[in-house]
A and B are shown apart, each in its own frame.
Chain A
Amino acid sequence: MTLELVLSSVGCALLCYTLGRYNRALTLQRWQFVLNAPEREAIESLRQRMAVDSALARQALEAAGRAREASRPPDALTVLRVALSVLEEAGADRLTRLRAMGVYSRMVRAISPLPPPSAAPFQGTELRAAASVAGLVHRLLVGTQERFRLWLLVLGLGVRIVLRGGRRSADAAGREPQRLQHWDAFARGVDDFEALDACHLTAFEALAASLAAVDRGGRLRLWERIVGDAG
């Protein structure tokens, strides 16, 4: 009887928690997005946004470098902090999109296959190690959905690693403005962020292609079923 009581309590708590938080309007909105399949414009707009973020961070980093070379460390550090804030804002945007892509990937039956994660495009040690481990795990996974979600996990982890490294480098440069090592580390972080953005875009394109692969008639029938049943 004790076992049944424990199992019933756990089951009831899980059910009440999940269904209590369930938001039907949000679910319908998500299906609306899935069935409307993001178009080329959405991918293009993301590509442009990434280019702008990258240009802003790189411009701020170069301006900081120039100020440092002109022996104006306080100005250089101020501009370096601007570069870091650009990366932090862009990182928050990427993490939000990765979370959403994780939800949508569960709603789509087949995800276009992605290449295994590789350490090659990255420079940071932690990021290279994470990508190498993910590359090994990728070979052990069979389903394209699992592999896609592994990609999302690696990208999310990568953004966090780069942002942490960026903050560390900026703080170290504040303490020792003359040491080139910290400035180089920050510059490598910007390079890694750009490499992560390229992977982010590839994953987004794969998701969009998978959504678009569902035929129009099938999408129409599914939407009618969803709205009809949810009425």
Chain B
Amino acid sequence: MNEFQAGVALVVRLLLLAVLTGMLWRGKVRYCWAFAAYVLAALLGNTLVSLWPDRFFNPSFWMFKQGVYDVLKVAIALELAWRSFGAFPGALRTARRVLLALLAVSTLAIVWLGSPSSYETLWEWQPPVATAALWLLTVTALMVVWYQVPVNGWQRAIMLGLAPYLLVFVSLLGVLERRGWALAGEFFATAETLAYLALVAFWAWAAWRRDPVPAAAVPVGSLA
């Protein structure tokens, strides 16, 4: 880990702390518990690598933490869908079918691509898993608009932040695959860290932002 990467990692750590405290302070943590778990996991992974680089700054730990992040990203997408459509049985029924189909197709595609070596498998899984997580978010967003389901600013910010980051991540993995680690490894690490820095900065801003108060429940009292 060079000095620049260490410096960016420190800023990312501070921003992750800001996201966590902002979510707790503004009471936004209850809108997506899986996201809180993801931020905690990211904070822990960043701290371990920064404080004990000799032990944790290596490909096997990177793979392990990436596996944990992948599971949590999928969990975020599913929890956001469940929270968005939970109150709307018609939309929930459709969402369940569509998301299950998407998960089944993604799982089949990932298993199909897998190679016998576990280390290689985990590496090869990264692009399809990131794509699957992105599409889970996309389907949720499309259904939110189709059924006109209300989602709050924080849930929207999580989706709007994660999707472009996942796209950057998949693109960088593509560069890495074509050029190899020896040529593009440094570029990959720096670009990925900067993209993640931008993502966490956006989330920190969204976590601390005060959401506008929703319309008062006046109409309910006057329901026919």
Interface of A is mostly: helix
Task: Indicate which residue in A5, A19, A24, A222 contacts B152 across the interface (CB closer than 8 Å).
Answer: A24
A27-B222 contact given A1-B173, A9-B167, A19-B141, CB 8 Å threshold: no
B window 143-200: CB within 8 A of A: 144-153, 156, 159-160, 163-164, 166-167, 170-171, 173-174, 177
Distance from B50 Cβ to chain A, minimum over Cβ atoms (Å): 29
8 Å CB contact of B159 from A5, A19, A230 = A19
Of residues 75 through 99 on chain B, the ones whose CB sits less than 8 Å from some CB of chain A are 83, 86-90
Contact status of A231 and B211, CB under 8 A, knowing A32-B219, A223-B217? yes
Collect the chain A residues with CB atoms within 8 Å of residue B89's CB: 109
Chain B residue numbers with a CB within 8 Å of A37 are 223-224
Other-chain residue from A1, A2, A20, A226 in contact with B160 (beta carbon distance below 8 A)? A20
In contact, B160 and A19 (Cβ under 8 angstroms): yes
Contacting pair B173 A227 (CB below 8 A)? no
The answer to whether the Cβ of B21 comes within 8 Å of any Cβ in the partner chain is no
For A226, give its contact among B87, B167, B173, B212 (CB under 8 Å). B87
Name the B residues within 8 Å of A223 (CB-CB).
Answer: 217, 219-220
* A15-B139 Cα distance, complex, nearest whole Å: 8
**Residue contact A4 to B127, C-beta cutoff 8 Å:** yes
Q: Are B134 and A12 in contact (CB under 8 A)?
A: yes
Interface residue A36 (Cβ < 8 Å from any Cβ of B): yes
**Interface stretch among A179-187, A199-207, A212-220?**
A212-220
Other contacts beyond A5-B127, A9-B167: 15, CB < 8 A: A1-B127, A4-B174, A11-B135, A15-B141, A15-B142, A18-B141, A18-B145, A19-B156, A19-B160, A24-B152, A27-B150, A212-B224, A223-B220, A229-B150, A230-B151
Instruction: Name B residues whose Cβ lies closer than 8 Å to a Cβ of A.
Output: 31, 83, 86-90, 127-128, 130-131, 134-135, 137-138, 141-142, 144-153, 156, 159-160, 163-164, 166-167, 170-171, 173-174, 177, 211-215, 217, 219-220, 222-224
Sampled A-B contacts (19; CB under 8 Å): A2-B174, A8-B170, A8-B171, A11-B134, A12-B138, A12-B166, A14-B142, A16-B164, A18-B141, A22-B144, A22-B145, A22-B156, A25-B215, A36-B224, A109-B90, A220-B220, A224-B220, A229-B87, A230-B152
